[in-house]
Amino acid sequence: MSNPQDENAPVDANIEQDFGDTRVIHLGGTLRAKAAVRSADAGGVDEMSVAAADAAMKDLSADFQNWMGDEVNRLIAAYEVFRDSPSDNRDVTKLFRAAHDIRGQAAVFGYPIAAEIAGSLSKLLDKIEPDYLPIQLISHHVDAVKAIYRNNIRDYANPVATQIIHNLRRAIDRVVEARQKAMMEEMRIRRSG
Amino acid sequence: MFRVDCSRLRFLIIDDNAYMRRIIRTLLHGFGTREVFEAEDGAAGLEAFATHLPDVVITDWSMPVFDGIELTKMIRQPDTSPNPFVPIIMITGYAERNRVFEARDAGVSEMLVKPISAKGLYQRIAKVVLNPRPFIRTENYFGPDRRHLVKADQYKSRGMAANYMNSGNA
C-alpha cells in the first residue's frame, strides 16, 4: 500500500484478508485520495468550513420560526386525527412522526423546551400500544408544545416551562411503568392458565 | 494534519422532512460542497443512490415505508449494490443504546444524534473520509467493522480471528 498520509499517493485497491468465515477488507483510500488536503488546523477540523456552515445556518435561521409553526401545526393535525379515530383502530404513525420530527429539529429552530416535550411524547407513543395510550396525556403534550411556540418560550429560564417538562415526564414514567406491570400480570395469568 | 475538501465530494441526503433536508444541504454548501442530491424516502433514496453514485450518503432513520435501516441494509448488499462500501452517516433523534446497536448492525458508518450542528456533521464526514473503518464480510454481516478504533495490524495474524469472531462482528 502507498502511504495514506501522502495526498498525492495513487489510489490503492482494497486489500482483503481471509480468516475462514470472516473476510476483512481494508479500503483502498479512494475517498481520501479524492478529498483529503493538508491542513494547519489541529484535530483535523476545518474551522473555516465549519464557520462558513454556521454562517449559512444563521442566514437560514430567519425562516426557523415559520418552520417551527408548520411543524407544530402538523403535530396538532396528527393529534386530532388520532383523537377522532375509533379507539380500537388508531394509527399512531403520523402522530409519532410529527412528534419525533419536533424532537429532532426544534432545538435547531431555537425551541429546545418544545424539543424536550416532543421527545417525551415520542417516548410515550413508542412504548405504549395504541389501544392503551392515554389521550389526555397526549393532549397535554400537544397543548404544551403549542403554548411554548405561541408564547415564544425559547430557554430554560422560564420556570413554568421547566415545571411542565418535569410533570409530563413524571406522568409518562408512571403510565409506562403501569403498562409494563399490567403486561407482566397478563403474562403471568396466561402462563398459569 | 489533513482536512476534507468537501467541494470534491458528492452527497446524497435522504430524509422525509423537507426542512431537515434544507438544513443539511445548507451545512454542506457551507462546507463548500457543490453536488448535493436529495430524496424524500428510502425507496427514492435507493434509486438516487444508483443514479448519482454519491461519495457519502446522509440518511434519516425514521422515514415512511422504507426507513434508514432498511436502506442501509440494501446499500450494503455486496453482490448487488453499486457501491456497498459507501460511507453512510445516519442522522437521528434516537440516542438509545439499543438503537445505536441496531444502526451499527445494519452497516451504518457513523451516527449523528439531533440536534445537528455544523461541527458535528463535519467531524462525521472527516471520519469516514480520512479514517474509514475496514469492512467485514461474514455469512451474516457486511459493513464497517463494528468495533471502533481497529488497527490494521490487528488482523495480521490468523490468531486474531478468534478474538475477532468473539467481538460481535461474526
Look up the ipTM and state it: 0.84
Which residue ranges of chain B lie beneath pLDDT 50? 149-153, 156-168, 170
Tell whether B28 is covered by a domain.
yes
Dist. CA B49–CA B56, nearest whole Å: 10
Q: Which residues contact A112 (CB under 8 A, 6 or more apart)?
A: A106, A154, A155, A156
Segment A169-173 mean pLDDT: 91
Residue A1 has pLDDT above 50, yes or no: no
pLDDT on residue B151: 47
Tell me: do B99 and B61 sit in the same domain. Answer: yes
What does the alpha-carbon distance between residue A182 and residue A175 come to, in Å, rounded to a whole number?
11
| CATH number of the A64-192 domain | 1.20.120.160
**Does B1 fall in a domain?**
no
Q: Does A105 touch chain B (CB under 8 A)?
A: yes
* A3 CB within 8 Å of a chain B CB: no
Residue B166, pLDDT score = 41
Provide CB contacts within 8 A for A18, sequence distance 6+.
none
pLDDT at A130: 86
Mark yes or no for CB contact B29/A67 under 8 Å.
no
pLDDT at A133 over 80: yes
Closest by alpha carbon to B87, among B110, B104, B71, B67? B110
- At residue A43, the pLDDT reads 63
Instruction: State the pLDDT at residue B150.
Output: 43
Asked if residue B153 and residue B101 are part of one domain, the reply reads no
Predicted confidence at residue A42, as pLDDT, reads 64
**CA A133/CA B103 separation, integer angstroms:** 28
Count of structural domains, chain B: 2
Give dist(CA B22, CA A60) in Å, integer: 9
B164·A39 Cβ contact <8 A: no
Residue B134, pLDDT score: 93
Q: Which of A59-68, A70-79, A80-89 is predicted least confidently?
A: A80-89
The one-letter amino acid code at B79 reads D
**Are residue B151 and residue B98 in the same domain, yes or no?**
no
Mutation test of the interface with chain A: which of B8, B9, B15, B23, choosing the one with the most A Cβ atoms within 10 A?
B23
Cα distance between residue A17 and residue A9, in whole Å: 22
Which CATH number fits the domain that encloses residue B32?
Answer: 3.40.50.2300
Note the pLDDT of residue A156. Answer: 86
Residue B53: left (phi > 0), alpha (psi -120 to 50), or beta? Answer: left
Distance from CA of A192 to the nearest CA of B (A): 31
Residue A4 has pLDDT above 60, yes or no: no
